Amino acid sequence: MSEGPSRTTAAGSESADGDSPTAADSSADPRATSGTRAISDTVLNVGAGEQGDGNVTLDLLSAVGPDVQGTATTLPFADETFDVVEMDQVLEHIAPERLGDVFEECYRVLRADGRLEAWVPHAASRLYDQDPTHRSRWTHGTPEYFADGNFSWYYDNRAFAFDLVDREVTVWVLEDAPLSGVRSVLLQTAHRLLEWDDGVVYRPSVSGSIHFTLRKV
């Protein structure tokens, strides 16, 4: 279920892919920057999967055992129920035309001053590319489309208003050797010259994760 640069499963997922973050990239684990939740906060985890935490977990799939089966586009909760809504490796699975619905719903169920915390894979990474269930692309600038900022007018007709209060992009290499960047270039060249893997070359060895926090206005 997990797909790599996750808040909760970053290292394990990389291993599943045959690679692991380097020691030098230990700061790449987005958990290091997610300690903003107060003990008293009421947390809804949307798209929680099998291991998501939170006071209430919701997922599209009943098979993963959520507290509530449902969809992020129509959250089955009353207005202003939660202090925090978390979505870890979920938004990229939402079709672009439905993202507005998801942000409206998060806004609606959040209390005044509530926070939406999201983690998404960076679109320019192998772990984004390889998953056929990914529907929307996220880069450093994308959260600005859903918050006060340069591009918020795209969603002026929507019933949500957020401030973008925190955002960081973490990039790391997936190989455990020194000089892995150089090695990546050499590998790419070898792939091209020798036509390994039918000549298909990934953006090798680089992965990225975006964590951002929106505050309900």
Ligand X SMILES: C[S@@+](CC[C@H](N)C(=O)[O-])C[C@H]1O[C@@H](n2cnc3c(N)ncnc32)[C@H](O)[C@@H]1O
What is the closest distance, in whole angstroms, from the C-beta atom of residue 183 to ligand X in the complex? 29
Q: Which two tokens stand for residue 168?
A: 């960081």
Among 209, 210, 99, 208, smallest CA distance to 162 is for 99
Q: Which residue from 5, 30, 52, 100 is in contact with ligand X, where contact means CB under 6 A? A: 52
Task: Decide: is 205 part of the binding site for ligand X (CB under 6 A).
Answer: no
Q: Which stretch binds ligand X (CB under 6 A): 43-51, 142-150, 195-203, 204-212?
A: 43-51
Longest dimension (CA), the chain: 59
Binder of ligand X out of 14, 88, 117, 175 (CB under 6 A): 88
Report if residue 64 touches ligand X, rule: CB under 6 A.
Answer: yes
CA distance 145 to 142: 6
Q: Tell me: does residue 37 bind ligand X (CB under 6 A).
A: no
Q: Give the residue, chosen from 1, 11, 123, 124, that forms a contact with ligand X under the rule CB under 6 A.
A: 1
CA–CA distance from 141 to each of 82, 132, 195 (Å)? Answer: 27, 23, 35
CB 6 within 8 A of CB 88: yes
Binding site for ligand X (CB under 6 A): 1-3, 6, 8-9, 46-49, 51-52, 59-61, 64, 71-73, 88-90, 93-94
